[in-house]
Structures are given as C-alpha cells and as structure tokens.
Chains A and B, each alone.
Chain A
C-alpha cells in the first residue's frame, strides 16, 4: 500500500468516528427477575438485593434490583443474532478493515460505568456510536487499529443508567510461531503413553484397534503377559496371540488420590485383574463408586477411547 493509499484508507475509516451504530432502542424484554436469577446463580452471587423479594421489600429500596454488571445483557439480540445482523456503521467499518487486509479481530477491553439502578419492570434503552479510532499501531498480533464503541443506556424515563466502552483491535494477522507454540501447551493433556518397541508395539497397536491380546507360545501354548520375546517355560521364540474376552476378577486395587496427574480423570481406580484366560493385567476400574471396588469382584473389560489420543481397556462391574 502506498502512502497515498494509506491516507485514503485512513480518511475512510476515521470518517466513521462519531457515527451512530444504533439509535436509542428499547430492549426486547423489560428487566425481569428470571434473567436476574440466572445471572446470579451462574456467578454464584447470593446477594439478596438481586433475588430475595421478601428481603428486598424490607430494604431501603423496597424492591429487588438487577446486578449493575448486567447492563449490556438486556439489549442482546438473542437467537436472532445467529440469522444475520442488519448492516450498521460498525459492520460497515469492519468490512472496510477486512477489505484492506485487517481481517484479524481481537476484543481487547470493556469498561462500564454505572449511574442508576434498574429493577424488574424497567426498560433499558441502548444507543451506540463509534467513539474513536486509534492511529495505526504495531502489535504482537500484527499491524492494526483500535476502534472503540460507546454504548449509552437509559431507562424508560430517559435517565442515564450507565455507559459501556468496548475496544476492538482490527489487524493484519502475522505468522505467530511463539503464539502457536503457546497454544500447543494449552492443549488438553492426555494420559502418558507407553513407549512402543519390538516386544510391545503389536500389543498396543491391537489395543488401538479395540482388541486386547495375550501372547501365546507357539511351542508349548503357555500364555504370557506382559509380552516378552522368549517363553519362560520352553525358551521358544515363536509366538502368536489370542484375543481376551476381558472377563476378569479383581485381585487388588487402589484409588489414586495424590498426586493428581494432568491428563487423568479422578476419582481414578487402578487394579490388578486376573483375566479368564489366566494372565493378569493392570487396568482401571470404572462405572461404579470407588467404594464398591473389592477383591474378588467380577469385572468385564471394554476397550475405550479415554482421551484424544489414548485407547485403553477399562473394566466395569460385570
């Protein structure tokens, strides 16, 4: 973009400053106790001034009020927002940014001020303008502009309830090697996998396919688990395998309380299980209360995906 193009673009965007995004518009619903209760429950705010009508009746206000931070709640579009938004000055500004490569969007901060309380039955009226647009900034996300909308809320009497400033960065996205790496570390941790080598890869590969195999000596038919390269009975190195029915009995068990390892779901029970075929296997017991697990308990295994990367046998009460 030449300096001239840049100037033309900036003239265009700065022309949006002061423009109305929406005229004073009443909320679709009046302030109401149902929405207040939902909000208070989700935030765990037990202030009786919001939800306890009997208490509020005896208070200085004589009635419940809406939490001030609900200021921007009442005028939300609701489900209608999913079917598209009528064009306004803000969508036009965003389109203009997008056309010039500033496709990235990041809400950076919100600042609310409160002047007056509202109670069930009041109507919240919102008006919004584009208040200011910054000069071109260099940010870690890429070059861009901050623009800020100013919403003003009034009640049915025209008295100001509060204001909200909402700042957005529109930017040209850059390659973000550092950001990409940090996103990797935010991935949900998975269970620690077994390394796979010559002597066990075939077992874990079968587990990935939903089958639990037991190694069998081709010479003397002795079963062995965990797998190893030679038969301890006859020293034959020839082997095949059979598939376990995963019918089993608990020989011992423990509930892991501490430390809790990332990637594992607690409560977590580990057990030594004697399979019907005769070999023992260590696995998890699931599908019952930890206190119900006992030595001698009959269990049935299922190979399940326990997280994004891991297939494992998990044993349920039979």
Chain B
C-alpha cells in the first residue's frame, strides 16, 4: 500500500527568529515571532492558518500560539514525539493534514530557550515556566483549581442565560445512572438512585453537586481500527468511521475560555459537529443513539445543542421529555456514562458507541441503531465522531 500524498502539500513560507544564548523573551514569544515571519514570507495572514504541528516537547500550546497570533479556528493540531526525531515528523503530520483536507494551511513550529531557560544539558529536572503553567496561574491563586469548579463557572452562566434548571441536570444524572444500574461492568451496577438522593448530596462547586460529577477510576479501554478490506475478514461486522473532527475555537483556553464575548457555549464543538456532518453527509436526524462525554451532567446538555439535536437553551426541555432514555429520541450513554460506568477519559465511550452500532449494548435500544455519535470532553479543544454500519 502506498500513501497517496504525492504532490498534495507544498512548503510556501519559511521564518526564523534571531538565534542567541539569551533571548530575553518567552518561548511563546519566539514561537509567534517565527510563525509570523514565515507567514510574512508566504504573504499569508494569521487567520489563514487552520492547522499546527509541533513537538510534544515544545512548551507552546497550539491554542496559546493561536491566541497570541490572532489565528482563528484550528481544525488540525498534531504533535510528534521523541525529541529531535520529531523534526521531519512534524512535516509529515502537516502533509497528511493538508493532503486529506483536515486543514488547508498548517504551520510547523518549534521554539525554545534551550540555553537561558531549560537546558537539555541540565537533565530532566527543575522548574519550567511554560505558557501552560502561566495559564493556570490566572486561576490557582483564587482557588479555582478543579475541573468541577471550571465547569461550574460555565454552567452558572449558561443556566442564567437559558433558564435551564437543575431538573435537566438531574435528568441527565438519572437517565445515565439508570443505564449504569443495569450494566454489570459499571460502578453503579445494581444501585438505586432518585431525586431525593441527588438533592441531598453534598455541593461540590455550585451549582454542581456530587451526582453531577463523574467517577474517578482506574482502568483502560482500547479500540482497534483497520481498513474496510481487512475489516470484512474479521469476526464482527465492521463499524465504520463516517466522520471525525477536532476543533480549538477562537480564544480557546483549557477549561477557562472566560474571555469570549459570550462564554456560556462550546463553539469548538459546534464547528467539530458541522465538519463531521459535512464529511459524513449526515445530520442530527440520522443519529439514532449517542455516547456524549459526561465528566459532568451539564456538559451533556451543551453538546446536544452543539450537535443540533435542539437549539441553544432547548436541551433542558429536550431531555426532560425523556430523549436520553432507552425508548427516547436519542438513547445516550447507555453504558452508564462516565457518571456511573467509569471515567476512562472517553475511550470507554468509543467502546460503547461501537457496541450500539453492533447492537450489543447491555442497554441496547429496541430500534435499529444505524448511526451512533461519540464525543470528546468539552471546555477544552474537542471533537467527535459518527460511527455507522460498514456497507
């Protein structure tokens, strides 16, 4: 098999910063200077960039570079591991992205204060002041330290904007746990759960209470992906990836995108959804069941809106009509979700979405599941995929 990238990607711009022993500026500053220089060389604007590729060892997060640069949406960001061996790997990533249409213009960058800052010769110890560490520094001193607290901040404003109440959060918490109670693999297996217990549970970060929050788990999940040709020869009917996308939206921060004109929303997931629908030729109407990332109950509601199952602010009524339940419009998190099966960073969700399409979920809906949605965590750069039966 030969990769089909020939002549599908071309280098059009190059840029360097000044090289020195003591730059006197941050690594992030070096990164944006280098990228800007390459853009100028190519005659492009920051907003032309929709993809980034760098080293895992690079301290400059793509979204920090994008924000500093004034780039807009990113629809591709890939990192390559293994120190200097990543140099041509980054170009490889960029080439694949451009050849496949995942992004149109990808910038490869690497920036470091390798002499005045963290020296490789110094070994792998010592404190490093990264853009990421500085980012958390805007929240840590105030005590805004946990995922629940960050999500609570979005939730409070979203509930204020939309009038959605705890009734809807409870419906997510309850329908999910009802599935979990019937799943022998779930933490919640065999457990009773009702509104009184939900209401009586301790507050974590208001408005989130204990049962709005996921499990903390040890465990592992995995999925094997192969070609359709190979899949036909294997034991189970293939479950095909109809579409998959990732997105970091404008002014994205990790869990703290509080600086947007309106921050009670997840525009990154709206873009990912739009792109998955476009590449799959499907719409929300074609989705029969879903596994929606549920670190916290309210984030399921936002994602229902982002994927177009209902409009902004309508998810409360949507779920209260029983949409997420086994006979509802969109049976969701039928394994019990991360709220009550286990928190394996969403990969257990991909396992369950595959089961839904195969027809083997422990809580398999009565209707035929032609297409299942599975999503990533939100509040951060995110994404999702639609899985369907292989033709």
- The answer to whether A235 touches B36, judged by C-beta atoms less than 8 angstroms apart, is yes
Query: With A225-B259, A253-B153 in contact, is A195–B143 under 8 Å at CB?
Result: no
- The answer to whether B142 touches A200, judged by C-beta atoms less than 8 angstroms apart, is no
A residues within 8 A CB of B258?
251-252, 272, 280, 282
| Complex-state Cα separation, A126 to B207, whole angstroms | 61
Q: Identify A194's interface contact among B64, B137, B152, B203, CB under 8 A.
A: B137
A interface majority secondary structure: loop
Tell me if B28 counts as interface (CB < 8 A to partner A).
yes
| Complex-state Cα separation, A316 to B51, whole angstroms | 43
- The answer to whether A256 touches B46, judged by C-beta atoms less than 8 angstroms apart, is no
Tell me if B127 counts as interface (CB < 8 A to partner A).
yes
Tell me if B87 counts as interface (CB < 8 A to partner A).
no
- The answer to whether A253 touches B137, judged by C-beta atoms less than 8 angstroms apart, is no
Q: How far is the CB of B116 from chain A (nearest CB, A)?
A: 10
Q: Identify A198's interface contact among B29, B36, B46, B202, CB under 8 A.
A: B29
What total of chain B residues lie within 8 Å of the partner, measured CB to CB?
50
* Segment at the interface with B among A32-40, A115-123, A257-265: A257-265
Smallest CB gap from B136: residue in A: A194
| CB proximity to B under 8 Å, residues A221-238 | 225-226, 228-235, 237
- The answer to whether A268 touches B160, judged by C-beta atoms less than 8 angstroms apart, is no
Tell me if B389 counts as interface (CB < 8 A to partner A).
no
Tell me if B345 counts as interface (CB < 8 A to partner A).
no
Tell me if B133 counts as interface (CB < 8 A to partner A).
yes
- The answer to whether B259 touches A280, judged by C-beta atoms less than 8 angstroms apart, is yes
A residues within 8 A CB of B69?
230, 232, 235
Tell me if B9 counts as interface (CB < 8 A to partner A).
no
B residues within 8 A CB of A251?
157, 258, 263
Smallest CB gap from B36: residue in A: A235
- The answer to whether B156 touches A230, judged by C-beta atoms less than 8 angstroms apart, is no
Tell me if A199 counts as interface (CB < 8 A to partner B).
yes
Q: Identify B36's interface contact among A230, A233, A256, CB under 8 A.
A: A230
| Complex-state Cα separation, A270 to B139, whole angstroms | 9
Most buried by B among A225, A228, A235, A254: A254
- The answer to whether B144 touches A295, judged by C-beta atoms less than 8 angstroms apart, is no
Smallest CB gap from B30: residue in A: A229
Tell me if A310 counts as interface (CB < 8 A to partner B).
yes
| CB proximity to A under 8 Å, residues B153-167 | 153-154, 156-157, 160
B residues within 8 A CB of A235?
36, 46, 69-70
Query: With A237-B33, A252-B154, A252-B160 in contact, is A226–B135 under 8 Å at CB?
Result: yes
B residues within 8 A CB of A283?
142
A residues within 8 A CB of B33?
237
Q: Identify B152's interface contact among A254, A261, A268, A280, CB under 8 A.
A: A254
Chain A interface size range: 35 or more
Tell me if B220 counts as interface (CB < 8 A to partner A).
no
Q: How far is the CB of A7 from chain B (nearest CB, A)?
A: 55
Q: Identify B140's interface contact among A194, A196, A232, CB under 8 A.
A: A194
| CB proximity to A under 8 Å, residues B200-216 | 202-207
| Complex-state Cα separation, A255 to B139, whole angstroms | 14
Tell me if B107 counts as interface (CB < 8 A to partner A).
no
| Complex-state Cα separation, A35 to B256, whole angstroms | 56
As a 0/1 sequence over residues 174 to 202 of chain A, the CB contacts with chain B under 8 angstroms (1 = contact) are 00000000000000000111111111100
Tell me if B300 counts as interface (CB < 8 A to partner A).
no
Tell me if B350 counts as interface (CB < 8 A to partner A).
no
A residues within 8 A CB of B141?
191-194, 310, 312
Q: How far is the CB of A299 from chain B (nearest CB, A)?
A: 14
B residues within 8 A CB of A255?
203, 205-206
- The answer to whether A193 touches B142, judged by C-beta atoms less than 8 angstroms apart, is no
A residues within 8 A CB of B136?
194
Q: How far is the CB of B201 from chain A (nearest CB, A)?
A: 11
| The 4 A-B residue pairs with the shortest CB-CB distance in the complex, in nearest-first order | A194-B137, A232-B70, A252-B157, A198-B26
A-B contact pairs, 12 of them (CB 8 A): A194-B134, A194-B140, A195-B134, A197-B131, A198-B26, A226-B135, A252-B264, A253-B156, A254-B207, A255-B205, A270-B143, A282-B139
8 additional A-B pairs beyond A261-B143, A264-B143, beta carbons within 8 Å, are A191-B141, A194-B140, A197-B131, A199-B29, A230-B69, A254-B153, A284-B142, A284-B143
Chain A residues at the B interface, C-beta cutoff of 8 Å: 191-200, 204, 225-226, 228-235, 237, 251-259, 261, 264, 268, 270, 272, 279-280, 282-284, 295, 310, 312
